[in-house]
Amino acid sequence: MGVGMSLQELVIITGMSGSGKGTALKTFEDLRFFCVDNLPVALIPKFVQEVQASGEECRQAALVIDVRAGDKLRDLELVLEKLRKSAFRLFVLFLEAGDEVLLRRFSETRRPHPLDTGLPVRESIRLERERLGRLRDIADLTVDTSDCTVHQVKALIEKRFLRSVRAAALKVVLMSFGFKHGVPPEADMILDVRFLANPYFEAGLKELSGRDRKVKNFLRKSPDTGEFVRRAEDFLQYLLPNFMKERKSQVTVAIGCTGGRHRSVFVVEELAGRLKGKGRTMQVVHRDAGL
């Protein structure tokens, strides 16, 4: 297996079905890990080689490997032993939960157990524990999620694997749009500024955008504009830290006017300047302004 300068950390997520491996993998994605679910055991060395050959593109990766691997799961211990000799750091994370908790989770989701052969789910859980016993023994960290909420599982992983404040930053996307072009489906919240004075109907402003000085001056003449921006800022300054407490990695705030070229663009630009910093990153998107 070649040793390169690209991959620095590889996390193998394994454990009991229903213990939260999906939540764990999603959390690693939010931490900017390259993630793959249910990669065949035989392809792990090839995966590592390809990542190493990619140069600087992928420094951290996370793979979910569990009983879905079938009989090949027994080869995983040998693969891990070889990976530990590589230049990058290997970490094996094992998730588990009590039998009654797993039974309840399978009942709630109504999903079949991966080892379902017509036997009761309890028997499938027993067989799974048996097959995963050795992996549990060699894991670097074992976490019992029986009493954990989804947010607590995410928080545990973030605390253990977070490498910098920047990685933990909440990404705030401020998007301007025009209602006549449709509401953005990715928006977490929508603010409507169609009540503000419309530069579209003013001579010489129609072809400009909310970034142009003449449009800015026109909008700033109205007390409603300043009042709305102040109130929207206060609202978001209160809301965004609470999103961070809930481990939300990104929030999209869409601000709409009729065409998405003047009022919404102006307000997005104003808010972006006021909201930057404080443990968050900002991205400005003008969907319909042609900017």
| Average pLDDT score, the chain | 88
> Residue 56: which pLDDT band, with cuts at 50, 70 and 90?
low
> Residue 7: which pLDDT band, with cuts at 50, 70 and 90?
confident
How far apart, in whole angstroms, are the C-alpha atoms of residue 17 and residue 7?
28
pLDDT value, residue 227 = 96
pLDDT surpasses 50 at 155: yes
Q: What is the mean pLDDT of residues 222-233?
A: 96
The secondary element (H helix, E strand) that includes residue 94 is: strand 89-96
Q: Which of 68-77, 169-178, 224-233, 244-253 has the lowest mean pLDDT?
A: 244-253
- CATH number listed for the domain at residues 9-166: 3.40.50.300
pLDDT value, residue 168 = 52
Q: Within the chain, which residue ranges are assigned CATH 3.40.50.300?
A: 9-166
> Residue 158: which pLDDT band, with cuts at 50, 70 and 90?
confident
pLDDT value, residue 112 = 86
How far lies 113's CA from each of 73, 128, 240, 251, in Å?
A: 17, 10, 38, 34
Q: What is the dihedral of CA 158, 160, 166, 169, to 10 degrees?
A: 20
How far apart, in whole angstroms, are the C-alpha atoms of residue 162 and residue 141?
16
Report residue 130 CA to chain centroid gap: 33
3-state helix, strand, coil in the chain (%, to 5): 45, 20, 35
Backbone dihedral angles phi then psi of residue 22, each to the nearest 5 degrees: -65, -40
What is the per-residue pLDDT across 27-52, written as a single tens digit (0 to 9) for each?
999 888 999 999 999 999 999 988 87
pLDDT value, residue 4 = 43
Q: Which two tokens stand for residue 74?
A: 């027994």
- DSSP SS3 for 102: helix
pLDDT value, residue 92 = 94
How far apart, in whole angstroms, are the C-alpha atoms of residue 191 and residue 270?
14
Q: Are strands 250-257 and 189-192 parallel, antiparallel or unpaired?
A: parallel
- DSSP SS3 for 262: coil
Q: What is the mean pLDDT of residues 8-30?
A: 92
